[in-house]
């Protein structure tokens, strides 16, 4: 629908106020999940008019483009933040661009008074993100063909580079490293250092901050920019649509896209278009009362979706009603929650990250990551809109003092609404422009789960094994609860008619927008992975999966069982599983017994209980106890798989493997580590870690 003449521009013009930024040396929190993120993760909504970046920049009057290579939106988020900061602090005319949407053979024609930034995530085992594959191949090729005949080819190009990586992976930040090397080789001029953020060490934000200040100084010097008092300018205009109500058919109430709105959602279902899948059955896997682990069978037979054993399913969560209420309340939006608004980008290269017209309620419930860790820079921005001077001072302090922020905010797992309410003692923050919220809060992200079923056995049913995130924290009344897993828990409770179990059970709009998810449905898509069984089923496999890390191995074991049942020979199949104890959180005990019955000696389950007896026993200890056998299997080219906790367990398993090889084969640890590396690059050693 076009804009009504009666539409009132509520915010756009109002909030072009001068706002002092308090960003110097600040740090802001980030979702720990490497797969989380993004305010502007909106690719697919509207592709740009041209694939020529120079034309695009000229048409929109830009002198700085920030390209992102992003898989799940985090890198895209950082790109947006650089764009915003460049604009507000230095008056750069910035734009953010998806690498996939432009051609690169004219990078040599970008004039030297412009700057190109690259924010590049490294994905999986050192690979480029899907949207950066072509760029990566082009720029790192032996001699990329450019539009002009410059010598050196990129002698005019000024660039800035920041990478997002995870040091638990072997090819740490290889994207930014390799792209940087390639650009240098082509004669381009880097401004500042090529930054590297490490999600593995949990220091992405600090790394980014430590990198960006000197980079801005170098850039300002190089381009003769003067730092100015940062000005907040809204990127989005919010228009109230008085002619529409939430019953109007064109109003989005949480539907992810137009097809869903029209009720004709059809495939292809993917990261931009979820399938609203029925849940066949769901049940609890733990036998203790204070922790939950869900098993869910999701039916994809009504869709074109398919999966292979080892793939991931993405769940599109909905925020809990209590948190939606809290958020709307603190910003004084409760009475307007169902008002229909249209959101327009005021800036030609910006994209609205959700479909409109819609309502405040729908945006907050379905599209914003309102419960995530709070960004420190965002806090600093909000200080200007505080309801009183005391709150303003406190927010300023939080924004500027990393340790203070950590002790007050992170340790309590506060989200934005809880934090603001605490700071202002409940006073509402009505002066905060809604555009600032859209800009500063990331887009609600799907959560990934390792599929725990076998596609050979049940090609149209995807199983999920998810431990429910709930944490009691000292000094906080109610427990911290994860977004997606508590939504799944609520679905399971509804499906089974369970009474609301805990005093803090959350409520959800389970039936979805316009009741379209009624009858226990969940929006999902499938992501294919490289975590795969050997194509030869007679090859031995060793699986290491404590806790929910066992999820894909349930699929692997069921697959081999199914093969054996149909008369195929299968190789030795060993599973190392760990949990607290045999009567608390022992997952899928029956599955393993059944597998044993069919596979006999071919299947072995090795258990590690951490809370039995005086010593904590973990899977890596069990692996080490079996050094001789593990080594022999590896020499027979057994595949080894590790799934679950990336930071500790997977690292330790890697170390133990090297120790086993060194000990058993009588070689140095360094030589053994090389063998482990080779096993990784030949896919003999595969990880599915998070
Ligand atoms: P979230 O709300 O996303 O919170 C997750 C964590 O972020 C919290 O525990 C906390 O550490 C931090 N956090 C969130 N908000 C705050 C805050 N305000 N302040 C401070 N810290 C905060 N999980 C499984 O159970 N089973 C699987 O098979 C599985 N497979 C996976 C496969 C892949 C490839 C990946 C990437 C992840 C997988 N996960 C799996 C993890 C899963 O995707 C989710 O991360 C997990 O279920 C938690 O989601 P949530 O929305 O409930 O929690």
3-class DSSP string for 470-491: EECCCCCCCCEECHHHHHHHHH
CATH label of the domain that carries residue 395 = 1.20.990.10
Distance in angstroms (rounded) separating the CA atoms of residues 371 and 653: 33
pLDDT at position 686 is 96
**Does residue 116 share a domain with residue 59?**
yes
What are the pLDDT digits (tens) for 256-302? 999 999 988 888 999 899 999 999 999 999 999 889 999 999 999 99
C-beta separation of 467 from 292 below 8 A? yes
* CB-based contacts of 209, cutoff 8 Å, min separation 6: 25, 26, 27
Sorting pLDDT into bands at 50, 70 and 90, what band is 410?
Answer: confident
Q: Tell me, in angstroms, the distance from the centre of ligand 1 to residue 327's CA.
A: 21
- Name the residue with the closest Cα to ligand 1, atom 18: 373
| Residue 656 within any structural domain of the chain | yes
C-beta separation of 401 from 466 below 8 A? no
Distance in angstroms (rounded) separating the CA atoms of residues 284 and 292: 7
Q: Which atom of ligand 1 is nearest to the CA of 409?
A: 19
- Name the residue with the closest Cα to ligand 1, atom 24: 466
What are the pLDDT digits (tens) for 190-245? 999 999 999 888 788 889 988 999 999 999 999 999 998 877 889 999 999 999 99
- Name the residue with the closest Cα to ligand 1, atom 31: 449
**Does residue 611 share a domain with residue 517?**
no
DSSP code of 1?
-
**Does residue 345 share a domain with residue 487?**
no
Residue with token string 């580079």? 161
Sorting pLDDT into bands at 50, 70 and 90, what band is 505?
Answer: low
pLDDT at position 42 is 37
Active site residue 643: yes
**Does residue 126 share a domain with residue 43?**
yes
Q: Which atom of ligand 1 is nearest to the CA of 485?
A: 52
Backbone angles phi, psi at 85, to 5 degrees: -70, -40
Question: Is the Cα torsion angle 405, 408, 413, 418 positive or negative in sign?
Answer: negative
On the question of pLDDT at 64 being above 60, the answer is yes
Domain limit, last residue, from 527, 554, 572: 527
Q: Got the DSSP string for 305-346?
A: ----TT-EEEE-----HHHHHHHHHHTT-GGGTT-EEEEEES
Compute CA 224 distance to the chain's CA centroid, rounded to the nearest angstrom: 37
Q: Tell me, in angstroms, the distance from the centre of ligand 1 to residue 35's CA.
A: 9
H helix runs in 140-228, sequence order? 174-185, 204-223
Q: Which atom of ligand 1 is nearest to the CA of 415?
A: 18
From residue 192, alpha-carbon distances to 224, 320, 618 in Å are 15, 43, 44
Distance in angstroms (rounded) separating the CA atoms of residues 529 and 642: 14
Pocket test for ligand 1, best of 311, 447, 489 (most atoms within 8 A of CB): 447
pLDDT at position 502 is 55
Average pLDDT estimate for 64-88: 91
- Name the residue with the closest Cα to ligand 1, atom 22: 373
Q: Before 152, cis peptide (omega within 30)? A: yes
Ligand 1 pocket, Cβ-based, cut-off 6 angstroms: 31-33, 35, 312, 317, 371-373, 410, 413-415, 447-450, 465-467, 469, 482-485, 548, 551, 690
Distance in angstroms (rounded) separating the CA atoms of residues 265 and 258: 8
On the question of pLDDT at 33 being above 50, the answer is no
Q: Which atom of ligand 1 is nearest to the CA of 487?
A: 52
| Residue 311 within any structural domain of the chain | yes
On the question of pLDDT at 40 being above 50, the answer is no
DSSP code of 365?
I
| Residue 521 within any structural domain of the chain | yes
| Residue 281 within any structural domain of the chain | no
Q: Which atom of ligand 1 is nearest to the CA of 449?
A: 30
Distance in angstroms (rounded) separating the CA atoms of residues 211 and 143: 30
Average pLDDT estimate for 24-40: 29
CATH label of the domain that carries residue 152 = 3.40.50.360
From residue 511, alpha-carbon distances to 24, 211, 254, 278, 299 in Å are 45, 45, 11, 12, 17
| Residue 278 within any structural domain of the chain | no
What are the pLDDT digits (tens) for 42-63? 333 567 788 999 999 999 999 9
On the question of pLDDT at 38 being above 60, the answer is no
Report the share of the chain in percent with pLDDT over 90: 78
Q: Is 266 exposed, middle or buried (0-12, 13-18, 19+ CB in 10 A)?
A: exposed
Active site residue 28: no
pLDDT at position 153 is 96
Q: Tell me, in angstroms, the distance from the centre of ligand 1 to residue 643's CA.
A: 15
The CB density around residue 648, as the number of other CB atoms within 10 Å, is 12
Q: Which atom of ligand 1 is nearest to the CA of 317?
A: 51
**Does residue 247 share a domain with residue 193?**
no
- Name the residue with the closest Cα to ligand 1, atom 26: 466
Distance in angstroms (rounded) separating the CA atoms of residues 435 and 11: 8
- Name the residue with the closest Cα to ligand 1, atom 25: 466
pLDDT at position 501 is 57
| Residue 233 within any structural domain of the chain | no
State the DSSP H helix or E strand holding residue 658, giving kind and residue range, or none if neither. helix 651-665
Q: Tell me, in angstroms, the distance from the centre of ligand 1 to residue 36's CA.
A: 9
Q: Tell me, in angstroms, the distance from the centre of ligand 1 to residue 323's CA.
A: 17
pLDDT at position 494 is 93
Q: Which atom of ligand 1 is nearest to the CA of 315?
A: 43
Instruction: Say how many domains are in the chain.
Output: 4
Least confident of 89-93, 273-277, 534-538, 584-588: 89-93
Tell me the residue ranges of DSSP E strands in 596-659: 603-609, 639-644
Pocket test for ligand 1, best of 29, 37, 485 (most atoms within 8 A of CB): 485
| Residue 275 within any structural domain of the chain | no
- Name the residue with the closest Cα to ligand 1, atom 39: 449
pLDDT at position 46 is 61
| Residue 523 within any structural domain of the chain | yes
**Does residue 475 share a domain with residue 583?**
no
Q: Which of 391, 450, 484, 610 is catalytic?
A: 450
Pocket test for ligand 1, best of 466, 470, 479 (most atoms within 8 A of CB): 466
**Does residue 569 share a domain with residue 435?**
no
**Does residue 508 share a domain with residue 488?**
yes
**HEC per residue, 86-129:** HHHHHCCCEEEEEHHHCCCCCHHHCCCCCEEEEEEEEECCCEEC
DSSP code of 290?
S
- Name the residue with the closest Cα to ligand 1, atom 15: 372
Backbone angles phi, psi at 365, to 5 degrees: -75, -40
Distance in angstroms (rounded) separating the CA atoms of residues 190 and 211: 13
On the question of pLDDT at 85 being above 60, the answer is yes
* Predicted complex ipTM exceeds 0.85: yes
Distance in angstroms (rounded) separating the CA atoms of residues 354 and 252: 9
CATH label of the domain that carries residue 306 = 2.40.30.10
From residue 585, alpha-carbon distances to 290, 293, 548, 653, 655 in Å are 11, 8, 10, 21, 26
Q: Tell me, in angstroms, the distance from the centre of ligand 1 to residue 480's CA.
A: 12
Sorting pLDDT into bands at 50, 70 and 90, what band is 673?
Answer: very high
- Name the residue with the closest Cα to ligand 1, atom 47: 485
**Does residue 456 share a domain with residue 308?**
yes
**Does residue 394 share a domain with residue 457?**
no
H helix runs in 497-626, sequence order? 551-565, 589-599, 619-625
33: Cα within 13 Å, side-chain hemisphere: 21
Q: Tell me, in angstroms, the distance from the centre of ligand 1 to residue 482's CA.
A: 7
Q: Which tokens belong to 545?
A: 């999966």
240: Cα within 13 Å, side-chain hemisphere: 11
Q: Which tokens belong to 221?
A: 């010097």
Q: Before 127, cis peptide (omega within 30)? A: no
* Beta-bridge mates of residue 682: none
Average pLDDT estimate for 3-29: 32
- Name the residue with the closest Cα to ligand 1, atom 30: 449
Q: Which of 70, 643, 645, 662 is catalytic?
A: 643
Q: Tell me, in angstroms, the distance from the centre of ligand 1 to residue 394's CA.
A: 30
Q: Tell me, in angstroms, the distance from the centre of ligand 1 to residue 457's CA.
A: 28
pTM above 0.95, yes or no: no
- Name the residue with the closest Cα to ligand 1, atom 11: 32
**Does residue 458 share a domain with residue 369?**
no
Q: Tell me, in angstroms, the distance from the centre of ligand 1 to residue 33's CA.
A: 6
Domain limit, last residue, from 460, 493, 527: 527
Distance in angstroms (rounded) separating the CA atoms of residues 676 and 14: 60
C-beta separation of 86 from 160 below 8 A? no
On the question of pLDDT at 316 being above 70, the answer is yes
Domain limit, last residue, from 474, 495, 527: 527
Distance in angstroms (rounded) separating the CA atoms of residues 495 and 268: 28
* Beta-bridge mates of residue 603: 573
Q: Tell me, in angstroms, the distance from the centre of ligand 1 to residue 44's CA.
A: 25
What are the pLDDT digits (tens) for 436-474? 999 989 899 999 999 999 999 999 999 999 999 999 988
**Does residue 248 share a domain with residue 132?**
no
Report the share of the chain in percent with pLDDT over 70: 92
Distance in angstroms (rounded) separating the CA atoms of residues 298 and 296: 6
pLDDT at position 21 is 29
On the question of pLDDT at 27 being above 80, the answer is no
pLDDT at position 499 is 78
Could you tell me the residue range of the domain that residue 419 belongs to? 238-265+319-440
Compute CA 508 distance to the chain's CA centroid, rounded to the nearest angstrom: 22
C-beta separation of 180 from 157 below 8 A? no
* Beta-bridge mates of residue 449: 313
Q: Which tokens belong to 102?
A: 């432009």
Average pLDDT estimate for 308-322: 97
pLDDT at position 74 is 87
């Amino acid at each position: 629908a076009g804009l009504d003449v009666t539409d009132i521009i509520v915010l756009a013009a109002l909030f072009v106020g001068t706002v002092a930024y308090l960003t110097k040396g600040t740090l802001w929190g980030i979702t720990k999940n490497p797969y989380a993120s993004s305010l502007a993760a909106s690719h697919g909504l509207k592709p740009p008019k041209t694939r020529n970046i120079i034309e695009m920049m000229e048409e929109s009057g830009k002198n700085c483009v920030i390209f992102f290579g992003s898989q799940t939106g985090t890198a895209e988020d950082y790109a947006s933040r650089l764009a915003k900061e460049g604009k507000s602090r230095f008056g750069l005319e910035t734009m953010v661009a998806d690498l996939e949407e432009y051609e690169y053979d004219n990078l040599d024609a970008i004039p030297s008074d412009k700057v190109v930034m690259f924010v590049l995530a490294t994905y999986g085992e050192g690979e480029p993100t899907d949207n950066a594959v072509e760029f990566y191949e082009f720029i790192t090729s032996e001699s990329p063909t450019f539009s002009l005949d410059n010598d050196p080819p990129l002698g005019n190009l000024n660039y800035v580079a920041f990478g997002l990586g995870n040091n638990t992976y072997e090819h740490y930040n290889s994207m930014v490293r390799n792209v940087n090397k390639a650009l240098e080789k082509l004669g381009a001029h880097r401004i500042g250092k090529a930054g590297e953020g490490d999600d593995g060490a949990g220091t992405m934000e600090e790394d980014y901050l430590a990198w960006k200040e000197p980079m801005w100084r170098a850039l300002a010097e190089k381009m003769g920019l003067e730092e100015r008092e940062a000005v907040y300018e809204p990127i989005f205009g919010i228009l109230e649509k008085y002619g529409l109500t939430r019953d109007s058919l064109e109003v989005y109430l949480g539907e992810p896209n137009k097809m869903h709105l029209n009720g004709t959602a059809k495939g292809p279902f993917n990261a931009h278009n979820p399938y609203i899948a029925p849940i066949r059955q769901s049940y609890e896997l733990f036998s203790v009362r204070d922790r939950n682990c869900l098993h869910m069978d999701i039916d994809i037979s009504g869709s074109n979706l398919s999966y292979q054993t080892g793939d991931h399913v993405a769940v599109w969560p909905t925020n809990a009603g209590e948190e939606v209420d809290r958020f709307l309340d603190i910003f004084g939006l409760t009475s307007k929650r169902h008002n229909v608004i249209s959101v327009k980008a005021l800036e030609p290269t910006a994209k609205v990250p959700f479909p409109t017209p819609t309502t405040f309620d729908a945006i907050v419930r379905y599209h914003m990551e309102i419960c995530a860790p709070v960004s420190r820079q965002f806090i600093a921005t909000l200080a200007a809109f505080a309801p009183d001077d005391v709150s303003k001072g406190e927010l300023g302090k939080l924004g500027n003092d990393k340790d203070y922020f950590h002790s007050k905010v992170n340790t309590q797992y506060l989200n934005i609404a809880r934090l603001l309410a605490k700071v202002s003692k409940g006073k509402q923050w009505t002066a905060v422009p809604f555009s600032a919220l859209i800009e500063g809060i990331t887009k609600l992200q799907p959560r990934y789960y390792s599929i725990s079923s076998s596609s050979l056995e049940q090609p149209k049913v995807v199983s999920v094994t998810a431990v429910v995130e709930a944490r009691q924290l000292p000094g906080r009344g109610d427990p911290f609860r994860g977004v997606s897993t508590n939504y799944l828990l609520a679905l399971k409770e509804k499906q089974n008619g369970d009474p609301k179990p805990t005093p803090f059970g959350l409520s959800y709009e389970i039936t979805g927008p316009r009741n379209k998810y009624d009858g226990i449905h969940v929006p999902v898509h499938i992501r294919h992975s490289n975590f795969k069984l050997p194509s030869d089923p007679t090859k031995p496999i060793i699986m290491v999966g404590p806790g929910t890390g066992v999820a894909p191995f349930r699929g692997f074991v069921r697959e081999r069982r199914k093969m054996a049942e149909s008369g195929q020979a299968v190789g030795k199949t060993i599973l190392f599983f760990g949990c607290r104890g045999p009567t608390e959180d022992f997952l899928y005990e029956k599955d393993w017994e059944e597998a044993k019955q069919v596979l006999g000696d071919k299947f072995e389950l090795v258990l590690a209980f951490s809370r039995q007896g005086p010593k904590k026993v973990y899977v890596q200890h069990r692996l080490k106890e079996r050094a001789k056998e593990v080594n022999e299997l590896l020499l027979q080219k057994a595949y080894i798989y590790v799934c679950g906790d990336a930071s500790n367990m997977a690292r330790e398993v890697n170390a133990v493997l090297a120790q086993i090889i060194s000990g058993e084969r009588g070689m140095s640890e360094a030589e053994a580590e090389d063998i482990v590396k080779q096993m990784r690059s030949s896919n003999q050693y595969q990880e599915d870690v998070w």
